[in-house]
Chains A and B, each alone.
Chain A
């Protein structure tokens, strides 16, 4: 190692750019004289100001305008906004319209979860956390599970996206949502198309789950890794549940549980301002949400801290199970293996596959329901519009849209709590913990790169379009500087896995 490392100095490690994120993510890690991590900053240098330019727009345009927040999960924003517009107009969707929305939403959830598993998060396990980085991608997955399966994954995604376009015009930025229902009825032929794909999606999800069980759970080292302290945080959890406390992506009440698993709160989305609040740090454009009851006490875990987490693992923690039989059985095995609540960040991967199975089963249930082809898809609003909140569980967690309008339905105020915001504090903590676990003394280990990467990937942070990306390993550039800002050493890993150090 460089001799300049001999003198104890405080150092700084910058991981920039972290690609495969939407926009730009950055991590700054500061070390003390002994080389221990003092503080890690997980930064989001992105802001587009949708809340501002929503003002002045007709509220019924929000489902289409806000879908442009994210082209990877446009359907999540579209649905949260549509539900908020229902509330603004005080109108209940017509039964068929509501079912079409949930059918499209389940289709979207299945597609998004499958892609994360095969293309992004899965490779760490299927190919192996310590496999050469060049193989740790979807091509490596295909090599491991076979070309036929690889083709199935691509075809499954295409077929699911074609269905979203069938019902919603477009897969990227769909147009179906209107107050009181949807724009277009489903024909009997459409319903049959959904039935066919849904049946295949259930089989696909079952296959995916068995692959996970065989490859990951069948390997003691992986199970140890999942349960290891470096990837564990005891925080609160939040997610949406139905009346029987079962996981629901489209409708229900929000439930919050403590790190011990007991219920801290249960509330309709319209009460979100009573329960959560946003904290701003001067070093990130993303605001950090926390539980108001406990307050913002910094980036800390435990029952006293207001930090909570969302997304698959959190949803399974707040729920008592699933409403469909196969997902319920898988859930029971998950809890039997990991206990409850589960605090191991990497368990998100397993929870995500169980949710994939639920999404496919729910798709099938809805497609089997003859009422879904009813021509009565709308209730036309009659009340004077005022204010409303809409919530869905996006693939990456709870997503809240809140609008207030004038009497013509023109937006006067908009407030959005996006899924990854709910996880932002915990992600920052995970990065910090991975860094603290790996960086000590003078040598910056190459293992840091993959561990930080894995800490990130488990959350599937929607700073990125990473879920649907092509193969490629996250490149990292680590620069170690002394206090004067002089570069002491650098470590770079490229997309092909090549690591260079200078």
Chain B
């Protein structure tokens, strides 16, 4: 009997589903080797079908997206119960991802921005969506959103992680092959190389042995050399703090790494690690000078915690 595999999404953009489809022609091999029992984006098996399946009957479930509603939490718990292996797929499931930046505000502030302050709102607009709305005897409901976005392992136990925004098709294929062969890494492993991106970087030969940065530039401010180490150009490239395995995609696009592959296994809080690493590159011992150098990094939280605020020690802004 073919092993049963499920895919599910929580608070996500759909890019992780694309990453699965980007297996291209080889997705047909995957479909031939496993039984997909849930994949809402494509195959439409129902929640009821999963509910009816015996506990532990699914070999592995790939869950992408962060968790922000009760429905997502409920699905995560159910899929945990039904599955032998849970894989957090992509940045949002692993560390909270870009939707996790919503932890800098809360539901009330988001509502007031979207339904109260947007310049395109009709004049005199006071309507906000309600969880329960009665209209001519009809009751129409909407789900409730929590204040805080969480990573998957803050909600259920996770066995493996596949990093990236989105992950590469190659890493997904590697994970599927590991599942099919039964040669599984230790629980808790993040699938992918366990060293920093700089090791794989096509520009590594132009990285100075000792980086000393006198000024950080924003990519909007300078012409970017297509060959030279981006940090050596004064661009904030997070390659030194970020796990390899992305195939240097952004570097190949001539833009700095923004850290979507998260930390290596030796690091607990990606943002803190990246921040301290980058701060140490500032080439000065003078406080005023250091401030001037770091002025080139105008948004530390959005830069260093772009993909990982919910899973960091900070988790969210206290309001």
Contacts and interface: CB of A to CB of B under 8 A. Distances in A.
Contacts of B14: 22, 70-72, 464-465
Contacts of B29: none
Nearest to B145: A47
A406 to B, nearest CB: 10
A158 B24 contact: yes
B104 A20 contact: no
A309 B202 CA distance: 47
A183 B224 contact: yes
Contacts of A72: 13-15, 17-18
Interface in A448-472: 464-466, 468-472
B110 A49 contact: yes
Given A53-B102, A68-B97, A281-B129, A175 B119 contact: no
Interface string B120-160: 11110101111001011110101101000000000000000
A283 B258 contact: no
B40 A71 contact: no
B218 A60 contact: yes
A466 B41 contact: yes
B222 A380 contact: yes
B218 A19 contact: no
Interface string A282-302: 111101011010001000000
Interface residues of A, number: 101
A477 B145 CA distance: 24
Interface stretch (B42-50, B203-211, B265-273, B278-286): B42-50
A172 B114 contact: no
B276 interface: no
A130 B224 CA distance: 56
A58 interface: yes
B192 to A, nearest CB: 16
Interface in B285-314: 298-299, 301-302, 306
Contacts of B24: 154, 158
B99 interface: yes
Interface in A298-348: none
Given A10-B137, A60-B218, A284 B13 contact: no
Contact of A495 (B45, B135, B252): B45
Given A285-B129, A472-B43, A169 B253 contact: yes
Interface string B158-172: 000000011000000
Contact of A472 (B11, B42, B118, B299): B42
Contact of B218 (A58, A168, A171, A296): A58
Nearest to B113: A52
B177 interface: no
A53 B104 contact: yes
B102 A20 contact: no
B223 interface: yes
Given A52-B113, A173-B166, A57 B120 contact: no
A49 B114 contact: yes
B44 A68 contact: no
B150 to A, nearest CB: 14
B302 to A, nearest CB: 5
A179 B41 contact: no
B48 to A, nearest CB: 9
Contacts of A395: none
Contact of B110 (A28, A47, A272, A474): A47
Contact of A60 (B19, B138, B219): B219
B101 A53 contact: yes
Most chain B CB atoms below 10 A, which of A170, A171, A289, A474: A170
A92 interface: no
A472 B104 CA distance: 38
A495 B142 contact: no
Contact of A174 (B120, B138, B220, B253): B253
Contact of A71 (B110, B129, B145, B166): B166
Contacts of B222: 380
| Size bracket of the B interface | 35 or more
A184 B219 CA distance: 12
B299 A58 contact: yes
Interface in B1-32: 11-19, 21-22, 24-25, 27
Nearest to B224: A183
Contacts, number: 262
Contact of B250 (A47, A89, A170, A172): A170
Most chain A CB atoms below 10 A, which of B25, B44, B128, B258: B44
Interface string A177-202: 01110011100000000000000000
B220 A381 contact: yes
B220 A178 contact: yes
A1 interface: no
Contacts of B21: 468-470
A28 B101 CA distance: 32
Interface in A49-94: 49, 51-53, 55-58, 60-61, 64-65, 68-72, 74, 85, 89
A282 B129 contact: yes
Most chain A CB atoms below 10 A, which of B25, B39, B251, B302: B302
A282 B133 contact: yes
Contact of B120 (A47, A415, A464, A465): A415
Contacts of B129: 47, 280-285
Contacts of A49: 102, 105, 110, 113-114
A41 interface: yes
A56 B142 CA distance: 30
B221 interface: yes
Given A168-B253, A296-B122, A20 B220 contact: no
Contact of A471 (B15, B42, B115): B42
Most chain B CB atoms below 10 A, which of A71, A74, A273, A464: A71
A442 interface: no
A408 B302 CA distance: 15
21 contacts: A19-B41, A49-B105, A51-B118, A53-B101, A56-B302, A57-B302, A61-B302, A65-B306, A68-B13, A72-B13, A74-B15, A169-B249, A172-B15, A175-B249, A175-B255, A183-B254, A278-B120, A282-B127, A378-B223, A417-B120, A470-B27
Given A169-B250, A494-B46, 20 more contacts: A28-B138, A41-B138, A47-B145, A56-B104, A64-B258, A68-B13, A71-B12, A72-B17, A85-B220, A151-B25, A276-B120, A278-B125, A280-B128, A283-B129, A284-B142, A287-B118, A289-B120, A469-B21, A469-B42, A471-B42
Interface of B: 11-19, 21-22, 24-25, 27, 39-47, 71, 97-99, 101-102, 104-105, 109-110, 113-115, 117-123, 125, 127-130, 133, 135-138, 140, 142-143, 145, 165-166, 218-224, 226, 249-255, 258, 298-299, 301-302, 306
State the 9 A-B residue pairs at the shortest beta-carbon distance, nearest first. A169-B253, A71-B15, A465-B14, A49-B110, A184-B254, A495-B44, A60-B220, A470-B42, A475-B44
